[in-house]
Chain A
Amino acid sequence: MMLAAVAYPYRVVERNVVSYRRLWLVLVSAMFEPVFFLFGLGVGLGQLVGDLEWYGEPISYAQFVAPGLLASSAMNGAIFDMTFNFYYKLKESRTFDAMLVTPLSISHVMDGEMAWAMIRGGFYSVTFLGVMLAFGLVTSWWAVLMPLAALLVGIAFAAMGSYGTTFARNWQDFDILFLITQPLFLLSTTFFQLEVYPSWARPIVQLTPLYHGVDLMRDLALGSVDGSALGHVAYLVAVTVIARAMVNRRMARLLLT
């Protein structure tokens, strides 16, 4: 049983690796997005912003922004696969129907797809972490855990993104996706501290998933790890577990009729 639960999702990951062998440029190009943001906003705008204070220590604006960008790129990497590509396989090419008449079951297919999205998000995060290291934006040994945190952010958004996608009726519905991911990217304390918000708005921001990813990354990059970091991990794990169960049920309703 354990073997199948790993071996079958692994074969779904392999399928994605094979299909992306010719599309490596698509994979690599998305790597540069957070780098552009880092230089445009972190370094450029940082000149105007000046230093910030983080747990009583002065830090540069670039130091502040970079971990947030890393969390966002983990989100974006996962979201892309689990929305557009997922919809295509679900409704257009009906790749999942073909998979489900093999020994694979829905949870194998979903776990494989989520693992792949997580790996993709993780890949962007690791390359960006390299950029951060090169520019001295990492100041703590806690940062070795950042790739793991990126995988957690990736799988949480993979689970939520695929669940949302099962409700899409057509390609136009994906406009709604940007209405969700853009504010998340811009408002989840990626570019400014939570304290900037009026006190009534802070709990709302703290409810959103990317906030937890961003704050966790910042704690790891800057070495400000305390109980709240564990809270972020717990939140992201809970979101993943719940969304995974929900998407598996939805998929069974859609495909096993």
Chain B
Amino acid sequence: MIPKPVVASDLTKRFDSFTAVNGIDLELEPGESFAMLGPNGAGKSSTMKMISTVSPVTSGELKVLGGDPQADGPAIRARLGVVPQEDNLDEALTLRENLMVYARYFGLSWSAAGRKADELLGFTRLEDRAKDQVVSLSGGMKRRLTIARALVNEPDLVLLDEPTTGLDPQARHLLWERLYQLKERGVTLLLTTHYMDEAEQLADRLVVMDQGKIVAEGSPANLITQHVTKEVLEVRFASGHEFDVTGLGLRTEPLADRTLIYTDDGEGTLAKLVNDGHTPASSLVRRASLEDVFLALTGRTLVE
């Protein structure tokens, strides 16, 4: 039987008096794509570091690919691919050398490392830049190279810590497409993100984290139906014409610049407002997203 890629129970990480991860339970299935969604400081990166065996567990249980991170570190890391939040590519080396040298750390021969490097440069569409220095790459290309580097050992589990933070939309979509390909090949992906669209695009299942704890768990669609309505009506009133919308829809959420009205019929609710003579200065009807789930669960927005 294939061991579950990650099993954590009551997993806790403390730094002095600060508790970064506060007793979380996780269970990943082989081949699935799993996301941890939450704002900065939710404990996502600390969890990732414990799973990648470079951060000792304070308390609780953690098994990665069937092994104990403390005792079996090298054996676990041999089957792990890690894409850290900050690119740490080797700037003294070319793209191809980056991959080859890294493959050597995993014990590949130089000729196997060369073949692997060429294959992965192709996979990440960087083959034209093989002989260039890393410093000359754009942010999106650096991320792609970091992902290629994480794949040199054909890992069973790939950890991606905020893979697309700071990238422009085009670079993000190319990256998502490559990650989707990996997923199709059966590689287990564990990613953290604070973008709900990223979690919706890539994750089969996800946990929402806040202040070191898991506040919700499920598939993106499930979480939305469980915690919010199908649609959201966003309204903004002109100053001097504010109107208290409390009572409209199933729930309302006042934000600094607009008010959200959770309703299963956005257009209908808007029509009612207009009929009653409270036409908003601007309005938008959209589908509910994980952002709304997070807001409903914590009372705060995901990206501040």
Contact = CB atoms under 8 A, between A and B. Distances in A.
A97 B84 contact: yes
Given A97-B88, A103-B77, A255 B101 contact: no
B26 to A, nearest CB: 19
A224 interface: no
Given A11-B105, A15-B101, A98-B88, A257 B74 contact: no
B248 interface: no
Contact of A101 (B80, B90, B100): B80
Interface residues of A, number: 23
Given A11-B105, A19-B93, A100 B88 contact: no
A15 B104 CA distance: 9
A95 B74 CA distance: 18
A14 B104 contact: yes
A102 B106 contact: yes
Contacts of B97: 18-19
A103 to B, nearest CB: 4
A104 B105 CA distance: 7
A93 B91 contact: yes
Nearest to A257: B55
A257 B15 contact: yes
B304 to A, nearest CB: 26
Contacts of B52: 101
B59 to A, nearest CB: 16
B102 interface: yes
Nearest to B150: A101
Interface residues of B, number: 32
A34 B36 CA distance: 57
Contacts of A4: 74
Contacts, number: 71
A182 B186 CA distance: 58
A18 B77 contact: no
Contacts of B86: 94
Contacts of A93: 88-92
A211 to B, nearest CB: 34
Contacts of B106: 102-103
A97 B77 CA distance: 13
A256 B105 contact: no
Contacts of B91: 93
A102 B101 contact: no
B41 interface: no
A145 interface: no
Given A11-B104, A11-B105, A257-B55, A101 B93 contact: no
Contacts of A255: 54
A151 B86 CA distance: 36
B250 interface: no
Contacts of A98: 84, 88-90, 102, 149
B77 A101 contact: yes
A103 B107 contact: yes
11 contacts: A14-B101, A93-B88, A93-B91, A101-B80, A102-B105, A103-B78, A103-B106, A103-B107, A104-B74, A104-B105, A257-B55
Interface of A: 4, 7-8, 11, 14-15, 18-19, 93-95, 97-105, 255-257
Interface of B: 15, 49, 52-56, 73-75, 77-78, 80, 82, 84, 86, 88-93, 97, 100-102, 104-107, 149, 153
Given A93-B90, A103-B74, 10 more contacts: A4-B74, A14-B101, A18-B101, A93-B91, A98-B90, A101-B77, A102-B105, A103-B75, A103-B105, A257-B15
